Amino acid sequence: MSTQLTETQLLKQLKPLIADKYSSAVASLLEAHRAEDIAEIFWELELEDAKFLIKVIEKDKAVEVIRCLDDEIQERLFKEYPAREIADDVISYLDSDDAVDILNLLPTRKAEEVISYLEDQEYAKNLISMLHYDDDVAGGLMAKELVKVKFNWTVSQCVEEIRKQAEEVTAVHAVYVVKDNDVLIGVVSLKDIVLAKPHASVVEITKEEFISVNAYATGEEVASIMNKYSLIAIPVVDGMKRLIGRITIDDVVDFIKEEADKDFQLQAGLSESVDSSDKIWILSRARLPWLMVGLLGGLGSSALVSNFEGDISHLPQMAFFMPIVAAMGGNAGVQSSAIIVQGLANNTLKSKNILPKLTKEFTVALLNGLICSALLLSWNLLIGHSYDLSIVVSIALITVVIFASLLGTITPLVLEKFKIDPALATGPFITTINDVIGLGVYFTLGRLLLGGF
Amino acid sequence: MSTQLTETQLLKQLKPLIADKYSSAVASLLEAHRAEDIAEIFWELELEDAKFLIKVIEKDKAVEVIRCLDDEIQERLFKEYPAREIADDVISYLDSDDAVDILNLLPTRKAEEVISYLEDQEYAKNLISMLHYDDDVAGGLMAKELVKVKFNWTVSQCVEEIRKQAEEVTAVHAVYVVKDNDVLIGVVSLKDIVLAKPHASVVEITKEEFISVNAYATGEEVASIMNKYSLIAIPVVDGMKRLIGRITIDDVVDFIKEEADKDFQLQAGLSESVDSSDKIWILSRARLPWLMVGLLGGLGSSALVSNFEGDISHLPQMAFFMPIVAAMGGNAGVQSSAIIVQGLANNTLKSKNILPKLTKEFTVALLNGLICSALLLSWNLLIGHSYDLSIVVSIALITVVIFASLLGTITPLVLEKFKIDPALATGPFITTINDVIGLGVYFTLGRLLLGGF
C-alpha cells in the first residue's frame, strides 16, 4: 500500500496533461484513483489547475474529492466559486456534517446565500440548526443522516427504512430506536437485524443500555468516550433526550489528532494552530507571545546577573558555566512536566496523591543530578578549572536539576487544578522560569562558597 | 456523561466494602457499572484489593474488566496468577487480538505455558501464529475473529455464517469474501446483506475495490490508511493475498494516540515511553540521554565562552545578556522545527520545495527578530545600559532568531530525508545547538563591534 509512490507518479503524468488542458486524458487517468488519493495531489497544484481538475472529474467523484481536501485548500477554492454553484454542485451532494464543515469555512453572508439556494428545504433547515453549534462540540461534529426507527415497528419495517435511507446514509453502523416524540430509547446493531426474524418486534432486539452524548459535549469529551467504550458511532441528543444526530468515529479520529497536535504546539511555544503554508503574519503572531515570555524571562535573568557584576569581573570564569546551568534546568524541568502532562491527558494520573509523586521525582532528579554533576566535575578538574569553581558548578547543577524537576512536576498539577491546560507547563514558560532560578542559585552559591569570589 | 464523577463516587462507596471483604455488596454495587468504568478504579486499588474485586465480579464481566485495564496494571496483576488460571479464566474468553496483547506482557515461558493450557487447539494455534508478529505491525494488531464467506455462496448462506460466528465475532462491520484458497477477493457491507435478496449470490453485492494491508505493515501505516479512507475495519493479508485477520479502528485509535505521545516525549527530551508510575531507574534512564546532550552542549558553550574570558573581565555586562541570547535562539528554533515536524507528520508538507519554505521562514524570523530586538533595545536604553552594548545585544538577537529559525526548519527536513524521526529536531538537540551558536554569534559580534570591548 505505497500510496506515496502512486501520488508522485500520478502527479508526474498529470502535470503535462493539465498544462495542455487535455480534459479527456486527465479524466480517464483519474478514473482509476480514489477520491482520497486525488485530494492529496491538490497540495501541489496552482488554484487554476485545481479548478480545472474539479471541472474535469466526473461529478460524484469531484464532490468526494472536494470533501477530502484539507480545509485550507477548500477555503481557497471556494473563494473562487459563486454561492449558487457551491450549493448546487457541492453542498447538496454532501452529508450534513461535511456540508457544515464547508459552510463554516465561508464568510457568514456567503454561507447564508449558499443555504438559500438549496432545493431540499428539510436539508437546508438541518444545516441551519447545525450551524448554531461550534465546530468543536458534538452538535458541530454530528451528521443528521442516520437510520431512525419507531420502537413498535417490526424488523422488516426496519429493513424497509434502511432501504429508504440507503442512498443518504452511506455507512449505517446501527439503527436508532425512538419513541413517538423522537426520544431515543435504544440502539439495534446491524448484526442483530441480520440475525432476527423479519416479523420480530424491534424492541426485542433493542439494546437499551447505550451511550449517548449531549449536543454541547466538547469534541474532546466525545473522542474520549468513543475511545474508552470502543464505539464506532455515538448518538447525539438534545436536552430532552431527543435524537438529533450521530457522530462516527472517523470524525473523532481527526479530533484526537487535533488535540494531540495542540499539546505539541503548546510545548513548542506556538499559541495557535499553524501550518507552514499559513500567511506570514499568522505565523509570526502564533510565535510572538512565547518569544515575549522568553524576552521577559531574559530581562529577568539579565537583571539578576547584573547584581553579580562585581563578582563576574573578579572571576570571569563564572560566566563560562551560565549556559550549562540554565540549559540543564530547562531540560530537567521540561522532562518532568511532560511526564505529568501526558499522565493527565491519558487519565492515568489522578492529581490528589501529590506527595509520593514529588518524593519519586526528587529521587529521580537527585540520581540524574548526581550523575551529571559527577561527570561535569571530573571533566572540569581534568581540563584544569579551579577546584573551588568546579565544586560550585557541580553543586549548582544538582540543585538546579532537583529544583527544576520539582517545579516541572508541581506546575502542571496546579494548572490542572485551576482548569488551565497543563500542557502550558511544558513550553517556554517553564524553561524561562528555570533559567532565571537556575542562574540565581548558581551565582548565590558562587558568592557564598567562593566568599565574594 | 460525567464519568469522572461516577468513578470518584463509586470508589468512595466501594473502599469500605472492600476493606470489609463484603463480597455480595461489592458485586451488586458493580453490577450497574460498565466494565470500562470499573477498570478505571483499578488505578486507585492496592494489588490485594484488585484481586479481590476480580474474584467477586461476575465471570464474563471480570474478563471484560481485565481486558480494559491498562497494560501496566495487567502486568502487575498477572504476575500474581498461575498460568493455568490465566488460560482458563481469561485468555480463553478473549478475542485473539486482546489475548495476544496480554500474552505479550508475560515472560515468554509463562506465555507458552498459558497457551499450552488452552483447550481450543485452533485458537491456540492462532495465538502462536500471531505472537510471531511485533505488537506494532498489522499482524500484531489484528484479530483472527472475522466473518469469512466463499464467493460462490448465496446471501442466506452468508447470514447463516454470521449466525454461526455471532458469538465469537462481537462486532461484524463487514463480511470478507474469499476464493477456495482463502485469497481475499472482496468485501460485503452488512448494510448490503440486509438489503439483498436471500437467494442472491454473494458476488453480486461484493465490492471488489477494497483496501487491505499486509501483515508486516507498521501500525502507523495502518492508522494512516484507515484514517485517510475513513475505514472502521481493514482486512490483513499475507504475502499471497490470503486473508489472515482484520484490524478494527478502536485498536488503531490507541495507536494514533501512542504515536502522538511519542512525538511529545521526543520533544520533551524523553528517550522512551515512560509513565510517572514507572520505576525510578526507568524514569532516570529515559531522561539521562538528553540530559547528556545538554551537558555536552553546555561544555561546548563553556569552552566557547572561555575564549572570551578577557573580554568578559573588561566588560562584565556582556554576561548579563548571555541568557537572553541563548533562550531566544532556543525558543525560535523549537517553534520553527515544530511546525515542520507537524507538517511532516500530517502529510501536509512535501519535503521537496525547500527554498520557498526557507524564504518564508526567513521573513517570519526577521519580523519577529526585529520586534523583539526593538523592544529589547528600547528597554536597555531606558534603564541606562551603554548604547554600544545595547546595539550589539539587539543585533545578536536578530541574528540568532533568524539563524535558529532556519536551522529549525532545515534539521527536521534533513532528518526526514535520512529516514530519522524528524521529531528529534524539536527536542533538547536543537535547543542545545542553538545555545552554542547563539553565544558564539553574540560574543563575536561583541568583539567586532565593541572593538575588543
Chain B CB contacts of A337 under 8 Å are: 268
Q: Do B269 and A43 touch (CB under 8 A)?
A: no
Q: Let me know if residue B258 belongs to a domain.
A: no
Q: Do A348 and B288 touch (CB under 8 A)?
A: no
Residue A66: CB atoms within 10 Å: 25
B438: domain CATH number is 1.10.357.20
A44: domain CATH number is 1.25.60.10
Of residues B260, B283, B306, nearest to A260 (C-beta): B260
Q: Let me know if residue B28 belongs to a domain.
A: yes
Of residues A213, A301, A323, nearest to B301 (C-beta): A323
Q: Let me know if residue A258 belongs to a domain.
A: no
Same domain, B430 and B285: yes
Same domain, A315 and A400: yes
Q: Which of residues 318-377 of A touch B (CB under 8 A)?
A: 318-328, 330-332, 334-335, 337-343, 346-350, 357, 360-361, 363-364, 367-368, 371-372, 375-376
**A84: closest CA of chain B, how far (Å):** 29
Of residues B36, B343, B364, nearest to A280 (C-beta): B364
Q: Which of A4, A38, A273, A291 to mutate to test the interface with B (most CBs of B within 10 A)?
A: A291
Chain B CB contacts of A230 under 8 Å are: 250
Of residues B36, B287, B337, nearest to A368 (C-beta): B287
The residue out of B228, B250, B272 marking a domain boundary is B250
Q: Which of residues 124-153 of B touch A (CB under 8 A)?
A: none
Distances (CA, A) of B14 to B7, B9, B56: 10, 9, 12
Q: Let me know if residue B426 belongs to a domain.
A: yes
**Partner residues linked to A130 by β-bridges:** none
Chain B CB contacts of A426 under 8 Å are: 268
Contact of B92 with chain A, judged by CB distance below 8 Å, is answered with no
B155: domain CATH number is 3.10.580.10
Chain A CB contacts of B221 under 8 Å are: 1
Chain B CB contacts of A34 under 8 Å are: 229
Same domain, B171 and B125: no
Same domain, B227 and B182: yes
Nearest to B365 by CA among A281, A269, A292, A284: A284
Grid cell listed for B307: 575564549
Q: Do A313 and B309 touch (CB under 8 A)?
A: no
Q: Is the pLDDT of residue A352 over 60?
A: no
Q: Do A166 and B191 touch (CB under 8 A)?
A: yes
Chain A CB contacts of B355 under 8 Å are: none
Q: Do A319 and B312 touch (CB under 8 A)?
A: yes
For cell 581534568, the residue is: A382
Cβ contact B229:A34 at 8 Å? yes
Same domain, A308 and A217: no
Q: Let me know if residue A210 belongs to a domain.
A: yes
Mean pLDDT of each 10-residue bin along chain B, 453 residues long: 61 87 88 88 86 89 90 88 92 91 91 93 92 89 91 92 82 89 93 89 91 92 88 93 92 75 74 71 81 86 88 86 88 83 72 70 87 91 88 91 88 83 76 87 88 54
Q: Do B253 and A254 touch (CB under 8 A)?
A: no
Contact of A207 with chain B, judged by CB distance below 8 Å, is answered with no
Q: Do B1 and A249 touch (CB under 8 A)?
A: no
Chain A CB contacts of B428 under 8 Å are: 331, 334
A270/B267 Cα distance (integer angstroms): 13
Q: Do B280 and A360 touch (CB under 8 A)?
A: yes
**A108: closest CA of chain B, how far (Å):** 27
Chain A CB contacts of B324 under 8 Å are: 294-295, 297-299, 301-302
Same domain, A137 and A199: no
Same domain, A289 and A402: yes
Q: Do A162 and B1 touch (CB under 8 A)?
A: no
Same domain, B284 and B409: yes
Q: Do A321 and B298 touch (CB under 8 A)?
A: yes
> What's the rounded mean pLDDT across residues A117-121?
92
* pLDDT tens string A151-179: 999 999 999 998 888 777 778 888 999 99
> What's the rounded mean pLDDT across residues A327-355?
76
Grid cell listed for B72: 501496566
Q: Do B291 and A372 touch (CB under 8 A)?
A: yes
Same domain, A12 and A88: yes
Which residue range(s) make up the domain with A10?
A: 3-141
- The number of domains in chain A is 3
Same domain, A332 and A432: yes
Same domain, B226 and B92: no
Q: Which of residues 405-444 of B touch A (CB under 8 A)?
A: 426, 428, 431-432, 435-436, 439
Grid cell listed for A140: 458541530
The residue out of A141, A174, A195 marking a domain boundary is A141
Chain B CB contacts of A297 under 8 Å are: 323-324, 327
Cβ contact B279:A286 at 8 Å? no
Tell me the whole-structure pTM to 2 decimals.
Answer: 0.73
B244/B186 Cα distance (integer angstroms): 14
Q: Which of residues 100-129 of B touch A (CB under 8 A)?
A: none
Residue A135: which pLDDT band, with cuts at 50, 70 and 90? confident
Number of residues written out for chain A: 453
* pLDDT tens string A28-47: 888 888 898 899 888 888 88
What's the confidence (pLDDT) of residue A3?
A: 45
Cβ contacts from A onto B, under 8 A: 369
As a three-state string, the secondary structure of chain B is CCHHHHHHHHHHHHHHHHHCCCHHHHHHHHHCCCHHHHHHHHHHCCHHHHHHHHHHCCHHHHHHHHHHCCHHHHHHHHCCCCHHHHHHHHHHHCCHHHHHHHHCCCCHHHHHHHHHCCCCHHHHHHHHHHHCCCCCEHHHHCECCCEEEECCCEHHHHHHHHHHHCCCCCCCCEEEEECCCCEEEEEEEHHHHHHCCCCCEHHHHCECCCCCEECCCEHHHHHHHHHHCCCCEEEEECCCCEEEEEEEHHHHHHHHHHHHHHHHHHHHCCCCCCCCCCCHHHHHHHHHHHHHHHHHHHHHHHHHHHCCHHHHHHCCHHHHCHHHHHHHHHHHHHHHHHHHHHHHHCCCCCCCCHHHHHHHHHHHHHHHHHHHHHHHHHHHHHCCCCHHHHHHHHHHHHHHHHHHHHHHHHHHHHHHHCCCCHHHHHCHHHHHHHHHHHHHHHHHHHHHHCCCC
Q: Let me know if residue A263 belongs to a domain.
A: no
What's the confidence (pLDDT) of residue B360?
A: 81
Chain B CB contacts of A436 under 8 Å are: 323
* pLDDT tens string A39-98: 988 888 888 889 899 989 988 899 999 999 988 889 889 998 999 999 998 999 998 999
Q: Let me know if residue B419 belongs to a domain.
A: yes
What's the confidence (pLDDT) of residue A2?
A: 39
Contact of B97 with chain A, judged by CB distance below 8 Å, is answered with no
Cβ contact B188:B159 at 8 Å? no
A33/A438 Cα distance (integer angstroms): 58
Same domain, B29 and B165: no
Assign A41 to helix, strand or coil.
helix
Query: Identity (one letter) of the amino acid at B96?
Result: S
Q: Let me know if residue A272 belongs to a domain.
A: no
The residue out of A226, A248, A270 marking a domain boundary is A248
Q: Do B269 and A334 touch (CB under 8 A)?
A: yes
Q: Do B372 and A299 touch (CB under 8 A)?
A: no
Q: Do A195 and B166 touch (CB under 8 A)?
A: yes
Nearest to B295 by CA among A31, A373, A415: A373
